[in-house]
Amino acid sequence: MKTLPLVNLLFLLGILTYLIFFSQEQQTQDVIPELSVNRLNVVGENGNKYVVISSPELQALGTINGKTIDPETTERPVPGLLFFNEEGDEIGGLVFGIDSTNSYQMLTFDQRKNDQIMTLRKEEQKIEGEWKKRYGLLLQERSEKPLPEIVSEIRAIEKIGDTAIRTQKFREFYSNEEHLAPRRMFLGRTFNGDVGLFLMDRNNQPRVKIYVDPEGNPKIEKIDSIGVKKEL
């Protein structure tokens, strides 16, 4: 009978040793040191996409109500991270890319059933052989007209065979404020090196500029509707 506690102790130690070893082995199996994929989808129980991380070759297309915004588009060759909501709408994301004349990174936030209205962006463009940079926060204005309707009208005009009629239809299309996305505010650095706050009207025309120029001079400018500038 005196050996029973010792047997129990040894049995308990054996169980603990097994559990510790098994736990460590399980943790090792769950850790993946490196994972290479072309595209990773985070989906809900109903299959709805919520997050897509992808290479440019397999990037998800923009959707609204789960349907492609532009049915004639078959690819969107940009790498990045895209977000979608419960209704199947793309609602923004982080995209980036580079080519021989342009380099960009953008974090975008989309208006409901439309396109981006707030963007944190950095751009570098090769202008006259020299790389110029612009970066900051951009706000845009968009109508409540759903983006698929706007895109559908553009595609219909593009298919008009008569050049004169097509040009006139595009002129009418872009004279409609519902189809425009004017820049209303930019806070950041411009291509020419000015750093400050720049406010535009609904026609995308500069109206107020508060900035410091590349030489370090502070400036405040007010521009009227016909483009006449007045320094304050």
User: In the block, which residue shows the tokens 């016909």?
Assistant: 226
Phi, psi of 20 (to 5 degrees): -65, -45
Assess whether 85 and 186 both reside in one domain: no
User: For residue 7, is pLDDT > 80?
Assistant: no
Assess whether 10 and 88 both reside in one domain: no
Mean pLDDT of the 27-46 span: 84
Assess whether 89 and 125 both reside in one domain: no
Q: How wide is the angle at C-alpha 12 spanned by C-alphas 6 and 17, nearest 5°?
A: 125
Assess whether 103 and 218 both reside in one domain: yes
Q: Model confidence over 157-201: pLDDT tens digits?
A: 999 999 999 999 999 999 999 999 999 999 999 999 999 999 999
Q: Model confidence over 194-222: pLDDT tens digits?
A: 999 999 999 999 999 999 999 999 999 99
Phi, psi of 149 (to 5 degrees): -65, -40
Instruction: Determine contact, residues 181/200, Cβ cutoff 8 Å.
Output: no
The Cα-based distances of 21 to 25, 28, 194 in angstroms read: 6, 11, 62
Assess whether 26 and 40 both reside in one domain: no
DSSP 31-56: --S----SEEEEE-TT--EEEEEE-G
Number of folded domains in the chain?
4
Q: Model confidence over 52-86: pLDDT tens digits?
A: 999 999 999 999 999 999 999 999 999 999 999 99
Distance CA 137, CA 23 (A): 48
**Non-local CB neighbours of 97 within 8 Å, separated by 6+ positions:** 56, 78, 79, 103, 104
Q: What pLDDT was estimated at residue 33?
A: 84
Q: Model confidence over 145-160: pLDDT tens digits?
A: 999 999 999 999 999 9
Distance CA 5, CA 11 (A): 10
Residue 97: Cβ-neighbour burial (10 angstroms; 0-12, 13-18, 19+): middle
Assess whether 37 and 88 both reside in one domain: yes
Beta strand 102-110 with 183-189: parallel, antiparallel or unpaired?
Answer: unpaired
Assess whether 46 and 82 both reside in one domain: yes
Assess whether 133 and 172 both reside in one domain: no
Assess whether 157 and 67 both reside in one domain: no
Assess whether 130 and 192 both reside in one domain: yes
- Give the number of other CB atoms < 10 A from CB of residue 108: 21
Assess whether 78 and 165 both reside in one domain: no
Assess whether 40 and 25 both reside in one domain: no
**Parent domain of 232:** 99-142+182-232
